[in-house]
Structure 1
């Protein structure tokens, strides 16, 4: 059965070439292969700059196949050329940084006042030789199930991918990023990595430390923790949500038995999936909505990433307990556009850089939880059993100890990159400081407070001397108390009755 690739990543989110210096490519040669022009990008009215840089697909074969690396520069408001730019390393793995231009332009407006923002599509994403499965593989997200994901789906995906997959790895991505830095004439850059972007940032710190002025690691995925071990962290985040609901007077009154209701819903769905007839959340036409245990839990798990969507979880669970799955369908409608993940690159990296490092004991410890069990590892395992293999370089798994000013940020409620991850990097980096935000989930710089701390750090370059007082002003999480009101807006929640199919 074909899979809905756009909606696949509800439970699985987070080389033989020797290390080469950026000096192996002459600056003059780089500049000859650089194009840069004014342009407009989605979500931004003002003109920005769009560029491409031609680089080797295989850095060990400089005269071999070439690929284009796409990037966008969001110019500083003050048009200053004195301050080093801030380079964004996107998440996933598999996000294209340039596709986040509109969000970053607005969210990092304070930082953009004084320095350029540089967004580079990692090779295998966006317009940098994308490794993506075509939309012909897509099915209706309302009828398909996560457990439908099969070997055939992966084989069909692989048949569409072009290029030497062994070259689409984290280290070559960093070689590309540093080549863009050099081609644009910057002696150094500041880097900001979020989620998988922190992994890329750590690799950058190891490979090209002289190119980096300072580093922000937001929601850390350290080299030492393989991507895919999300069972325990997701359980911890979910339990924190349940406890926070019970510690909130209104939430506790509205949902006094939330943990038991979740257990009863999952037990029922374990026996057999449920099919209901509902009105399509966006189109209004009658559709069949299928819900399995995996689909229910994976949808809940995705809401744990954001403080806004976390507020909906008690309502989702309670309505499902009452037999009403319409709110769940409404949230799935919100995700129909997908997460912007380039599937081919995601699996290419995870199946070669991470999954082989997961031992039997690590897997057993991770699946020993009372939330999603081993769902994320099961899905990754299916893909990695088929995916072509390459060997990361001998240096790839080295612990990073670069002496570069580094700000580390973690959200205490994060379901995928817990604060313990940040502690690992903080312990190894000699000039770092780890901030844990009590009322944040994934990506601390998604808040005004987080952005202001990053901005101060970029100015002071002293991670231990920052004003963190705004963290105490971030409110405790609050919750939606009903279908028509509460702590957050209801997103496309269907209100027409659903019919359970016999």
Structure 2
């Protein structure tokens, strides 16, 4: 998953509180009558998603998925048709539905272990069906397969859906679900014990052995807890995952749909294609992960390739090479220096509003660069960040590390370990890892990883997730129309993996995109257009002429950030809050009344313009910010501003995670008007004059 702007959480939290307050101040609206789920026995009758989740008195019984045709390699034993009966029922969405979207949610209930149905244990998968924007959408929806393994798909919807997946709603219904063991699905295989360990040891300079011992201890606690809850750790793997997806298609009543996977989602898609090919119109494999690939063996080698691409990319870019000469050597020297003398910086946990000291050594910088190459937004910033850290400037380092810490919220570590142990590490041999040929500082970083390194063997000895059948380590072949996308900078699933998969998919189209990392389809207009063209007609090669117009990353160099003193403004109206005003042109609205500048992936600049009902005070808002975000000090009124309409605004200022925050409140009989500006310190004065002051002049109730 891509980094999430931390300051966006302020707008999201504030929106939730204000909307709840507004709802409580109004008369309740009638509850809609429940609507029955579409009959699963008639898949040609497509389900119509509604704006509000609907409910049924009884869950709908679904015929079990047909047994796949046998392949040359013996497949796992299939359950007889009468062995279990999947159940689907609608339910409330567990996540905040994006404004203006029609989403119907529900739960699919299937056996936890299809080879042991008799024990009666089941899993419930949380499902969300996003209605197409079209009056006549294509009859074949898109079902998204989250990566990881262990990624929580639906928890990220409020933060990422509009940016990543909303374009697909133009012509298709879009289906997301939390895979077994993840997110809102039940049971959850999340390991809060590991998350707690991360924060407890942030400022510790642990040796490799010390870190591994603590990790095994935390994992042992997580495993013991899950076993006490009755979880069968051997049932959380791609084979069971694939059967879940096949049952879901029948449950929702679709004759055909399109599989769309990113990263691990492509491995799951290949498993579905192999075991349950019926009902698949097309397949999109973005950042392909072949079944025969082995992260324990190849990760350091693949990261080495991506590092070479990154350093060569800056050297070949005249502006980057001039601003950051000898970047490769500067980084190597920085790694050595930080391993000898680590630094301590401040990071922020948006989940609990707490600040933490975090120790950064050379290995941490290597890991940071590796993670950053996933993202088309962060990669352009890395040359500047490397030089900044070398020169003692750590603001951006703090921001990006805080963002990466936030992502722990959206992963189920137990599910990830179960999958990797069952179907990858079980086929590996200790000591067979490929070394990094050009950057030896990569090797120790990955050797100590529970997922991508040799440490995984010790983890799996502890976890005991079982061993997959041999077929789970063998390439998949298919003639289903398939689009395969790869990013030049991808550090974890290299383009060669996509090429390998394409050789065995007879009706496939392969494209590599320059300057892009992991998750190409959600990383730019060109890969998106290629993906949409493929979906329109999977039997015809999509138009990919735009690739020839793509270049490498637009590396951030001095002077490329724009002029904060000269900002063009445009009218803004919010039907949600019933206000009108002005906002900077080009800033993106990520939540009602919350606009982010987005000059880079680390740009935390945001302006929030919202309204509260009568009785809602500035003190209430400030209390919310203190509780949610850990303001460095309780704000006190810093002055007043009389706007162009003669209204007197009360001004406050404070800091959140080293970023200045300006607040303005105007209260009258109609309620409370709220404006907040968060920016980098270097831009604060300029944006106060060019954005904040005009916003106070213009914000009015409709």
Using structure 2 for the length normalisation, give the TM-score. 0.63
Match of 1:71 in 2: 127
In structure 2, the residue corresponding to 1:83 is in which secondary structure? coil
Cα distance, 1:77–1:41 mapped onto 2, change above 3 Å: farther
- 2:369 corresponds to which of 285, 300, 320: 300
1:396-453 per-position Cα deviation (integer Å, ceiling 9, x unaligned)? 2232112100111101111111110001101111111111112211111112222221
Alpha-carbon distance between aligned partners in 1 of 2:115 and 2:460, rounded to the nearest angstrom: 26
Cα distance, 1:287–1:227 mapped onto 2, change above 3 Å: closer
- 1:259 corresponds to which of 325, 328, 333: 328
1:219-275 per-position Cα deviation (integer Å, ceiling 9, x unaligned)? 00101111343212212112211111111122111111211211111112333x423
Alpha-carbon distance between aligned partners in 1 of 2:601 and 2:126, rounded to the nearest angstrom: 36
Q: CA deviation at 1:43?
A: 5.1
- Which deviates the most, 486-495 or 55-64? 486-495
Match of 1:345 in 2: 415
Alpha-carbon distance between aligned partners in 2 of 1:356 and 1:367, rounded to the nearest angstrom: 26
Structure number with greater CO (CA < 8 Å, separation at least 6) is 1
Q: CA deviation at 1:216?
A: 0.5
Contact in 2 for aligned 1:219/1:442 (Cα 8 Å): yes
Alpha-carbon distance between aligned partners in 2 of 1:276 and 1:484, rounded to the nearest angstrom: 29
Alpha-carbon distance between aligned partners in 2 of 1:395 and 1:281, rounded to the nearest angstrom: 42
Match of 2:147 in 1: 91
- 1:488 corresponds to which of 600, 609, 627: 600
Q: CA deviation at 1:56?
A: 0.7
1:50-106 per-position Cα deviation (integer Å, ceiling 9, x unaligned)? 011111111123342122121111111225475111111110001122234343454
Alpha-carbon distance between aligned partners in 2 of 1:426 and 1:69, rounded to the nearest angstrom: 31
Alpha-carbon distance between aligned partners in 1 of 2:355 and 2:464, rounded to the nearest angstrom: 42
Using structure 1 for the length normalisation, give the TM-score. 0.86
Contact in 2 for aligned 1:334/1:491 (Cα 8 Å): no
Alpha-carbon distance between aligned partners in 2 of 1:59 and 1:186, rounded to the nearest angstrom: 23
| 2:246 aligned with 1:178 | yes
Q: CA deviation at 1:211?
A: 2.6
Match of 2:700 in 1: none
Q: CA deviation at 1:139?
A: 1.5
Match of 2:492 in 1: 416
Cα distance, 1:62–1:358 mapped onto 2, change above 3 Å: closer
1:179-220 per-position Cα deviation (integer Å, ceiling 9, x unaligned)? 111111112211001000000000000000113111000000
Structure 1 regions of 5+ residues with no counterpart?
Answer: 1-15, 497-502
Alpha-carbon distance between aligned partners in 2 of 1:368 and 1:392, rounded to the nearest angstrom: 34
Match of 2:508 in 1: 432
Alpha-carbon distance between aligned partners in 1 of 2:163 and 2:82, rounded to the nearest angstrom: 37
1:233-252 superposed matches below 5 A = 233-252=302-321
Match of 1:124 in 2: 181
1:279-358 superposed matches below 5 A = 288-339=357-408, 340-358=410-428
| Bigger-Rg structure (1/2) | 2
Match of 1:500 in 2: none
In structure 2, the residue corresponding to 1:160 is in which secondary structure? helix
Q: CA deviation at 1:379?
A: 1.6
Match of 2:569 in 1: none
Cα distance, 1:483–1:385 mapped onto 2, change above 3 Å: farther
Contact in 2 for aligned 1:94/1:345 (Cα 8 Å): yes
Q: CA deviation at 1:394?
A: 3.5
Contact in 2 for aligned 1:277/1:288 (Cα 8 Å): yes
Match of 1:110 in 2: 167
Cα distance, 1:293–1:230 mapped onto 2, change above 3 Å: same
RMSD (CA atoms): 3.0
| 2:107 aligned with 1:52 | yes
Q: CA deviation at 1:484?
A: 8.9
- 2:225 corresponds to which of 131, 150, 160: 160
Q: CA deviation at 1:281?
A: 9.9
Alpha-carbon distance between aligned partners in 2 of 1:312 and 1:453, rounded to the nearest angstrom: 26
Contact in 2 for aligned 1:406/1:432 (Cα 8 Å): yes
In structure 2, the residue corresponding to 1:330 is in which secondary structure? helix
Contact in 2 for aligned 1:195/1:443 (Cα 8 Å): yes
Alpha-carbon distance between aligned partners in 2 of 1:83 and 1:279, rounded to the nearest angstrom: 47
In structure 1, the residue corresponding to 2:511 is in which secondary structure? strand
Match of 1:221 in 2: 289
Alpha-carbon distance between aligned partners in 2 of 1:457 and 1:73, rounded to the nearest angstrom: 22
In structure 2, the residue corresponding to 1:307 is in which secondary structure? coil
Structure 2 regions of 5+ residues with no counterpart?
Answer: 1-73, 563-598, 605-656, 661-702
